[in-house]
Amino acid sequence: MHDPECPQKSHPVLKTFFVSLKDPRRTEKGHFRYPLDEILFLVIAGALSGADGWASISIFGRAKLAWLRQFMPYRNGTPSHDVLGKLFALIDPVQFNSCFMAWASSVLGNGSGEVVAIDGKSLRGSDDRAGGRPAFHMVSAYATRNRLCLGQQCVAGKGNEITAIPILLDSLDIKGCTVTADAMGCQQDIASKVLERGANYILMVKDNQEGLRQQVEKVFSISLPSSSHSHIDTGHGRMEKRVCDVIGDLRFLDDRELWQGLTSIVRVRSERHDKQTGASSGETRYYISSLAGDAEGFNEKVRSHWAIENNLHWQLDVIFNEDDLLMKKGNSAVNFSMVNKMALAILEREKSTKMSKPSKRLRAALDDEYRTLLIKS
């Protein structure tokens, strides 16, 4: 990663976790005007400081060159947006993801007991209509308690999540965790893969597994729950009551042997009331699980799954403007998504202030000392 003519040490995070990332550029001399580690550091610092694309990161680099040189030489200054875009379009996203996961694993430490939510999100601005390529779809694994993305797998379209999830699970250390997934992930092979990786599963059952759903509904219609728990949430002008019922006696569940490790079936009934409009709505969801436990624990784990929507996907869209980014060349959008997830995790971990994340990014853009605090965390 280092320019041989620039012997200055790299930033510890890059030196430890991203040193194995291969530079896709080729020259006869084997070194470049802008070394890869300098570019990575620039991009991460820019993302923390509110830069949401290659043009704004290039502007950030020129404005903060003196600050950047406290960490690395930057003998030739910082690159243009074209150089950044072309490089990130060429970087192998599998290698980049591997480096990212090593960093995330070090941040997480012992993840035993974590609920790891699996879900997908499309990068809307990455579609290449001229080339006939649809937008990239990212399947992510999210540690809900630590609010940390553990890794991602890129696929072409939401329908390919089923094949992406086992690949993602194979790359993660999830021993002792509970993996949650929506109906797309309710597949026999995925349930088996979770158990193979030393984890447990809670999988939502919907109409894509019509026979299984009918069987689960039947059991709840003829058997009393072994455990029940209700929880009420209030806030943002609404009230939600969730009643969770668990059945561990599966004698009346047909084909239960097809689902490896299946131990419990779960029903969650939600009632929502909007205090301003007076409108009410309800929903019933069903799950299968390899866990045996009381309804209170299931209620908490099922609810925590939605953290991947609220604390990862929603924040990437609202805080990092991910849906509005037009990155269509090569692997650019996929790689920048990982940069944003890294920046989001760093902002999440910084506890010296109670400011919102947008405010933290603004402060990082203006305050060199605060940006240094973030980049060293």
Q: Which two tokens stand for residue 55?
A: 């043009």
Q: How many residues are present in the chain?
A: 377
Domain 96-316 of CATH type 3.90.350.10: yes
Q: Are 152 and 339 in contact (CB under 8 A)?
A: no
> What tens digit of pLDDT does each residue of 217-234 get?
999 999 999 999 999 988
The residue whose two tokens read 């990786």 is 197
Each residue of 119-151: pLDDT tens digit? Answer: 998 887 666 666 666 678 889 999 999 999 999
Q: How confident is the model at residue 16 (pLDDT cuts 50, 70, 90)?
A: confident
Number of Cβ within 10 Å of residue 208's Cβ equals 14
| CA quadruple 30, 31, 32, 38: dihedral, nearest 10 | 130
pLDDT, tens digit, 9 for 90 and up, residues 288-299: 999 998 999 999
Q: Which amino acid is at 87?
A: L
Q: How is residue 243 written in tokens?
A: 């009643």
What's the helix, strand, coil split of the chain in %, to 5?
Answer: 45, 20, 35
> What pLDDT score was predicted for residue 114?
94
pLDDT digits (tens, 9 = 90+) for 42-69: 999 999 999 999 999 999 999 999 999 9
Tokens found for residue 337: 């998504």
Q: Hey, what amino acid is at 31?
A: H
| Calpha distance 271→125 (Å, rounded) | 35
Strands 200-205 and 178-181: parallel
Domain assignments of the chain as residue spans, ordered by start:
12-90+332-375, 96-316
List, in sequence order, every beta strand (DSSP E) within the chain.
Answer: 115-122, 137-143, 148-155, 178-181, 200-205, 227-235, 238-247, 264-274, 280-289
Q: Alpha-carbon torsion 365, 67, 100, 150, what sign?
A: negative
Q: What is the DSSP letter of 108?
A: H
pLDDT digits (tens, 9 = 90+) for 316-345: 999 998 887 777 688 888 999 999 999 999
Section 29-52 average pLDDT: 89
Of residues 206 and 377, which shows the higher confidence score?
206
Residue 200 scores a pLDDT above 70 = yes
For residue 252, the Cα-to-chain-centroid distance in whole angstroms is 37
**Structure tokens of 344?**
């989001």
